[in-house]
Structure 1
Amino acid sequence: MQKTMKQFIPTLTLLLLSSANAQQAEPTSTEISAIPNEVFKTPKISNQSSIQSVSNEPVVAQRVNAGNTDKSDKSEFQAFVQYSTGKILNLYGQDFFSGSPSSFAPLQNTPLPTDYALGPGDEVVIRAWGGVDIDYKTTIDRSGNITLPTVGTISLAGVKAGDAESVIKASVAKLYRDFSMSVTFGRLRAITVYVVGHAKRPGSYTVSGFSTLVTALLASGGPNSVGSMRNVQVKRNGKTVGNLDIYSFIAKGDKSGDIKLQDGDTIFIPAAIGHIALTGKVNTPAIYELKSQNEALNNILEIAGGLPVIADPRRVFLERIDPTKSQPRNVEEFKLDNQGLNKSLKSGDIVTISPITPDFSNAVSLRGNVNQQLRIPYTNGMRIRDLIPNREALTTRATIARRNFEGLDVAATNQNSNSIAARIGNLSDEINWEYAVIERTDKETQSISLVSFNLGRAMADINSPDNLTLQPGDVVTVFSQNDIRVPASKRKVVVRVEGEVNIPGVYEMTPGDTIQSLIAKAGGATNNAYIFGAEFYREQVRKEQQINLEKAVRRLEAQVRSENVKVAANDTSNDAATASARIQVAKESSANAIARLRDLKATGRISLDLDPSENNEGLNKLPILKLENGDQLIIPSRPDFVHIFGAVNQESSLIWQKGATVDKYLQNSGLTPDADTENIFILRANGTVLSSTGRGWFSSINSYTLMPGDTIVVPERLNKETPYKVFTSGLKDWAQILSGFGISAAAIKSLRQ
């Protein structure tokens, strides 16, 4: 309930003011029946049935006959500063008056100052118990008195709030004994003050009887953009009785000039003497008012909160206007020494304080493939080994994280074996020991030169010529072999071999080793090895395949959109609704197919292109392919099936029969009526594609003898009236193209689902 009432305070205020004025005009008289002392009952004096919690909340400021409306204005000097510096600066202190008048009303039940002088219109609540029972609320009348039944008239005009209880108690004690008393205050009188001059909202204001200059200024919105915040005056009976510097109040909390207002006071806001702009590296960039002509810069800096640590006191720029000169603007530079701090400012000045230059005068830095980026002080004779004392300083944080298994739950029972194997040999970032570089800046020309050195020799021998002497400002960069690729003969080669070898595992090879060397190191192939179906994967190839796959998908997407537009344009159906639905279904179908195609990922498989007739006898016929770091070789056991899918009666895996041809398997599976027999192709177990069309292949594929693990793909015959089905139904060209990205037959089959 209390919170709800606060929301209606502004409205209630007007009613209270009307009531207060009425009471001041004619104090309410209440008939009270009192019982004398000689009767055996305790006398009771009351003018209310029940006294609830009484608020001494002052009246919220009410503005009457104001001359100007409240509006935010910008001074010409603010516009000039924005034009000159490109920055919008506020007037210092303006935010202090940014709230609405009701925002500054004192809170409910605010304690009344003990030195508050009571006067007509103030409400007094009197309670007494014991020898007399008093529960009475009254208002001081125009004569400054209250009338307490059975007691009489009590003068309270000018009595301080802290003394009111003793004054009233003394009057009651003349008639009654042995009682206790409490005097509190309800609604207080309102006074009228006038705000004139360069005020934001000049006019007359009805405010609380114990309002001060600051609260009245808050209620009236304060000075406007040209009004003074440093010389606000209170005039009373033709004399200036108060003077307030708002800057001192805001910046220092100094309220010595904040006097209490009386009814009829005039608050006069003169024009400001002048303004200056303070910008750059200061704690409070703003436009500041000068308190006097030629005020010292130090005074303004004190109000602004001083300078941040990154300010450069050696470089301060002052832009000044001198209208007497043909070129009225000039700029000067000075330091914030004693003379600079006492420099006199003039209205229109723009003072800019520069930031410090972030360069270090005595530092050398280390960065790159290192444990920690360093910046240390330079000392005479410092060398590379002083900056990099040992090899541990070159162990990167990423390496330490991998060694500590950070982010990896090694206890998980569902760890992917492929991902675990991929981490073998990759715990460390391999350092480029043969090349590191110093970036050196010439202080005179500010040009940068590069001084390279052999990091390995510098770390191996402290007396090595590669342990170069450093200079102040040098930046030393250490590279990994991934940052700058080193020759193949110097790279680490860690590869995996899996499947039908005697000792599958991860092996460190010598640069220049081949697939044959890897198989030999793994103990050779087993008797179950199916060399024709060997799968060889390389990471660099995977990245290139993925880029090309994404390009192909974008090209296909453009083709499908074009075909859909053509079909829509050439549709001659008389039923527009049916035609529209058919086109929409076609678009959705092609969009879904494209989405499935985007989900495919290149594998990085390199076809070894072995002749099927050589199989295990062709172990020595494997291509002589030099290994790279991260290569993976999988030698499967011989599968027992041939796979077939597409336009067949039953997609299945058929038992491989030695010497059996494509025609034989097609007879076993059976073709559907819409099978496109002219465009059948085979995805061979060695990763290549065999078709009846294209350069270098047989004119017919039906007589081809299949190998274990081969896959027959039978496309559907295209509907020429709906060319947009070329992808969703055909799988002619695209299956062959996708096989070039190392994508398996199973993945291609998924595109049809």
Structure 2
Amino acid sequence: MYHRMWKFAFIWSLVFITLMCLSPLTFEAQAQEGSVSAPGGSIQAPGSAPAQGSPGLPSNLQNIQNILQNVAPAQEAPAAQPGQISAPQEETPAEAPTYAPVEVGEQMTPEAFSALSDAQLDQLFLNTPASQVMRMLPRFGTEFFRQAPSTYAPVMAVPVGPDYVVGPGDEIRISIWGMIEDQWSVTVDRDGNLSLPGAGVIGAAGMTFSQLQQAIKKEYSRYYTNFDLNVTMGRLRTILVYVVGNARRPGAYTVSSLATLVNALLASGGPSQTGSMRNIQVRRNGKVVTNFDMYDMLLKGDTLNDIRLMPGDVIFIGEVGQLVGIVGNVKRPGLYELKERVRLGDLIDMAGGLTGQSFKGRVQIMRVEDRRYLTLVEGDLDTLGKDFMQRFAVQDGDIVRLFPVARSTSTVRITGPVATPGEYAIEPGITKLSEVINRAGGLSYMASNQAEITRVTVTQLGPVTQHLLINLEKAMRGDPKNDIPLEMNDYIFVRAVPEWDLYATVTISGEVKYPGVYTIKKGETLSDLIERAGGYTDRAFLPGAIFTRESVRESQRRSIDEMVQRLERELYTASAAGTASSLTSEDAKLVEMETQQKRRMLDVLRQTRATGRVVIRLEDPPTLLKKTPYDLLLEEGDHLHIPREAQTINVAGNVLNPSSFIFEPYSTYNNYIEKAGGYGRNADRSRVYLLKADGSAVRVGHLKKPPYIERGDTIIVPEKIQVVSDLRRTSDIVDIVYKTAISAAVVIDALDD
């Protein structure tokens, strides 16, 4: 007995192994033939030519057939390596909005730093090392040099002053009239000489413009009398200066002879991160001719030391001095360079002073000591007094923080049918309900005479919530029992009249006398809408009426999404199991190819649009529709389309010539299939079904006595689905895709007509 059981088990094991080996071979043979079975037409395998749309079918049915033909994996899609399975992607739920964390890194702009919230400032100072905070603070004055240098370049055509020093390359324009009349433009040569037409050569270099004018007039006076003379400057020369030290872009610069120290600094990008803005020297012939402080110009507008440059001048930017940061509620938060001993009050003035929202009750000064933050002063400015502000000196590395005023406002919120719902400030125990309603613009016309006030009272045992019912009509007249004083955080809900809804709209189109968009009232039905539209025309095809509803469309969309997600999970699980059970790498490749095919089928299903169609049955006249299940209550967005009487029958699927044919009474589906050339080689005759004009589907392939075909019907001939692996959901997926797509195509085609 045991011997027979072992023999029986051994035989079945051999059968199972044989089937596992033959399955991928069968799939591979099908792929090499160029088609994979699916309803609605052959699906091209990699390397085969794509099938063209069948002639005679409506455009929407051709599009569906073409989509199904392109479901197969593309030729260029790389085959996954054995054992590699791609999991389905899942939607990531939206996260609640939060403050973005401050990125610790490069220096921030003044605008970006001023936009930081108090929570972000807390996070920055509590979680970031002192050295990094100092690097992130915007340094005062750097914004001045962020502009393009050409914006600040000196204009060449401006008139020069009498103290302008003439040099080689300057153009001199001479106009003379009287005894002699002429005009000349001459240039000072590299030796510093100026050749005067008709007067000789004079030395011009080193003269001021005023001196040159006198010298030219004097020279012409030696040869001419009774004349007037005008001397102006033409094109000015350029000079070469050097910007060295801690500059952003050190080097030699060619600038206009009118250029000043600030012009050269702008051309070089200003001081670098290690450069000083308060210790800038101009060296000429080995001597320091000026010490320039950018803060004088930026804070006071003082350009006294912004001297005009000479050829060969060297601009030296020294090392940055002591740096102190000030943040929070000041007008110009940032990093300031100290040139001398600076007191706390002077630093606040340097930063533009306190803002209008600055809280004098707290100031915090953090000082780096022993390589860690140490709160040196924590107090309020009023208590410390002005003497402390003028005595306490800040030092290198200090960070001063000013805080905003604490929000302490008493507000209530009002919602419902008022002109401007929102929060309103009150004086607790004094401001009355009618005052807040008036501030909110008064009651709207749809407001009822009732309101509800929710009030939370704080007790030692916890909060106590009350709901107070108010008669608004009496409250607006000043009745003390209803026009009650409000407390902080009261929530006022003004009720609208019961079942308030302004109006809803529905659309009726097609073969009715007055198609269009109609407003409806509560309780109106489909028959009422048809009667308001004037009834049907003589060409109305009632069995083909299409009724769509937005709520049904949304429900169908959710169902499709859930079905796709479920099938995708099952596909992933089956694919992993198939790959794990593969004996060779070729088996794994075949499993992956099949998985990719089914994933593309799922993509087609995912792209399928829900129609929202509801199958209905209309009657003529519309009064016969009343009190029947099909006389639906209308909703917002409903759409009823009544097409013209259909003259054709559509045949789609695995037939030799999918097309449309003239309707013939008392004909069965077999008659129309014969007109389409008969069944295809892989047609599944037992699963033929009719897609009726009203949207319902009827399976007829298994009936011995098939029903007659009616106007507008579509005959669907599916293909046989050969499942050659453990992924048994292939037929279900293809069937769902095809039926959903065909249904959508029929609806869209009818609405387009």
Bin of the TM-score, shorter chain as denominator length: 0.5 to 0.7
Alignment of 1:415-494 (within 5 A): 438=454, 452=467, 457-458=471-472, 462=476, 469-474=485-490, 476=492
Q: Which residue of 2 aligns with 1:713?
A: 715
Q: Counterparts of 2:242 and 2:532 in 1: how far apart (Å)? A: 101
Query: Deviations for 1:635-667, whole angstroms, at most 9, x for unmatched residues?
Result: 97997989563367774463556xx8x578769
Preserved CA contact (<8 Å) 1:685 1:707: no
Q: Which residue of 2 aligns with 1:349?
A: 398
**How far is 1:214 from its partner?**
3.8
Letter in 1 for 2:217: K
Alpha-carbon distance change, 321 to 709 in structure 1, aligned in 2, over 3 angstroms? same
Which structure has the larger Rg over C-alpha atoms?
Answer: 1
Aligned-pair identity in percent equals 27
Question: Are 1:701 and 2:736 an aligned pair?
Answer: no
Alignment of 1:556-635 (within 5 A): 598-605=607-614, 622-623=628-629, 627=633, 629-630=635-636
Alignment of 1:91-106 (within 5 A): 91-96=139-144, 106=154
Of 225, 229, 235, 1:181 maps to 229
Alpha-carbon distance change, 461 to 549 in structure 1, aligned in 2, over 3 angstroms? same
Q: Which residue of 2 aligns with 1:332?
A: 378
Aligned to 2:554, the other structure's residue is in SS state: helix
Of 641, 645, 650, 2:651 maps to 645
Question: Are 1:321 and 2:330 an aligned pair?
Answer: no
Preserved CA contact (<8 Å) 1:334 1:340: no
Of 547, 550, 554, 1:543 maps to 554
Q: Counterparts of 1:272 and 1:364 in 2: how far apart (Å)? A: 53
Say which is worse superposed, 515-524 or 92-101, in terms of deviation: 515-524
Alpha-carbon distance change, 338 to 520 in structure 1, aligned in 2, over 3 angstroms? same
Preserved CA contact (<8 Å) 2:541 2:644: yes
Alpha-carbon distance change, 261 to 681 in structure 1, aligned in 2, over 3 angstroms? closer
Alpha-carbon distance change, 354 to 461 in structure 1, aligned in 2, over 3 angstroms? closer
Q: Counterparts of 1:387 and 1:636 in 2: how far apart (Å)? A: 53
Q: Counterparts of 2:566 and 2:530 in 1: how far apart (Å)? A: 40
Alpha-carbon distance change, 452 to 595 in structure 1, aligned in 2, over 3 angstroms? farther
Aligned to 2:366, the other structure's residue is in SS state: strand
Query: Deviations for 1:462-490, whole angstroms, at most 9, x for unmatched residues?
Result: 55977664323445466889xxxx9xx99
Q: Counterparts of 1:113 and 1:537 in 2: how far apart (Å)? A: 85
Preserved CA contact (<8 Å) 2:649 2:711: yes
**How far is 1:123 from its partner?**
6.9
Alpha-carbon distance change, 537 to 119 in structure 1, aligned in 2, over 3 angstroms? closer
Question: Are 1:508 and 2:521 an aligned pair?
Answer: yes
Q: Which residue of 1 aligns with 2:84?
A: none
Aligned to 1:645, the other structure's residue is in SS state: strand
**How far is 1:186 from its partner?**
6.3
Query: Deviations for 1:358-416, whole angstroms, at most 9, x for unmatched residues?
Result: x46144343566543444331454344433359985659xxxxxxxxxxxxxxxxxxxx
**How far is 1:706 from its partner?**
5.6
Alpha-carbon distance change, 701 to 431 in structure 1, aligned in 2, over 3 angstroms? farther
Aligned to 1:541, the other structure's residue is in SS state: helix
Q: Counterparts of 1:355 and 1:637 in 2: how far apart (Å)? A: 69
Question: Are 1:294 and 2:305 an aligned pair?
Answer: no
Q: Which residue of 2 aligns with 1:413?
A: none
Q: Which residue of 1 aligns with 2:679?
A: 673
Preserved CA contact (<8 Å) 2:512 2:642: no
Letter in 2 for 1:602: T
**How far is 1:593 from its partner?**
11
Q: Which residue of 2 aligns with 1:168?
A: 216
Preserved CA contact (<8 Å) 2:166 2:208: yes
**How far is 1:544 from its partner?**
0.7
Alignment of 1:132-281 (within 5 A): 132=180, 135=184, 137=186, 139=188, 160-185=208-233, 212-215=260-263, 217=265, 223=271, 225-232=273-280, 242-260=290-308, 271=319, 273-281=321-329
Alpha-carbon distance change, 543 to 369 in structure 1, aligned in 2, over 3 angstroms? farther
Alpha-carbon distance change, 733 to 653 in structure 1, aligned in 2, over 3 angstroms? farther
Letter in 2 for 1:541: V
Say which is worse superposed, 672-681 or 180-189, in terms of deviation: 180-189
Preserved CA contact (<8 Å) 1:717 1:730: no
Q: Counterparts of 1:748 and 1:149 in 2: how far apart (Å)? A: 92
**How far is 1:318 from its partner?**
1.7
Gaps of 5+ in 2: 1-105, 108-124, 578-589
Using CA pairs under 8 Å that are at least 6 residues apart, name the structure with larger relative contact order, 1 or 2.
Answer: 2
Letter in 1 for 2:324: I
Say which is worse superposed, 513-522 or 102-111, in terms of deviation: 513-522
**How far is 1:622 from its partner?**
3.5
**How far is 1:310 from its partner?**
5.1
Q: Counterparts of 2:161 and 2:603 in 1: how far apart (Å)? A: 80
Alpha-carbon distance change, 601 to 297 in structure 1, aligned in 2, over 3 angstroms? same
Q: Counterparts of 1:138 and 1:492 in 2: how far apart (Å)? A: 86
Preserved CA contact (<8 Å) 1:117 1:161: yes
Preserved CA contact (<8 Å) 2:279 2:291: yes
**How far is 1:288 from its partner?**
0.8
Q: Counterparts of 1:509 and 1:202 in 2: how far apart (Å)? A: 80
Q: Which residue of 1 aligns with 2:116?
A: none
Query: Deviations for 1:93-132, whole angstroms, at most 9, x for unmatched residues?
Result: 2454568999976443443221235579977565534335
**How far is 1:247 from its partner?**
0.6
Q: Counterparts of 1:150 and 1:392 in 2: how far apart (Å)? A: 89
Alpha-carbon distance change, 213 to 735 in structure 1, aligned in 2, over 3 angstroms? closer
Aligned to 2:341, the other structure's residue is in SS state: coil
Q: Counterparts of 2:502 and 2:539 in 1: how far apart (Å)? A: 31
Query: Deviations for 1:502-551, whole angstroms, at most 9, x for unmatched residues?
Result: 999765345xx998999999999999999998876554333111221344
**How far is 1:255 from its partner?**
0.8
**How far is 1:233 from its partner?**
5.1
Alpha-carbon distance change, 297 to 709 in structure 1, aligned in 2, over 3 angstroms? farther
Q: Counterparts of 1:136 and 1:640 in 2: how far apart (Å)? A: 94
Alignment of 1:376-415 (within 5 A): 376-379=424-427, 380-389=429-438
Of 653, 663, 688, 1:654 maps to 663
Letter in 2 for 1:547: R
Preserved CA contact (<8 Å) 1:536 1:631: no
**How far is 1:677 from its partner?**
3.3
Q: Counterparts of 1:716 and 1:464 in 2: how far apart (Å)? A: 78
Alpha-carbon distance change, 125 to 141 in structure 1, aligned in 2, over 3 angstroms? farther
Aligned to 1:713, the other structure's residue is in SS state: strand
Q: Which residue of 2 aligns with 1:48?
A: none
Query: Deviations for 1:609-640, whole angstroms, at most 9, x for unmatched residues?
Result: x9x9xx99996884499847448696979979
TM-score by length of 2: 0.57
Say which is worse superposed, 543-552 or 310-319, in terms of deviation: 310-319
**How far is 1:274 from its partner?**
1.6
Alignment of 1:80-95 (within 5 A): 83=131, 85=133, 88-95=136-143
Aligned to 1:230, the other structure's residue is in SS state: strand
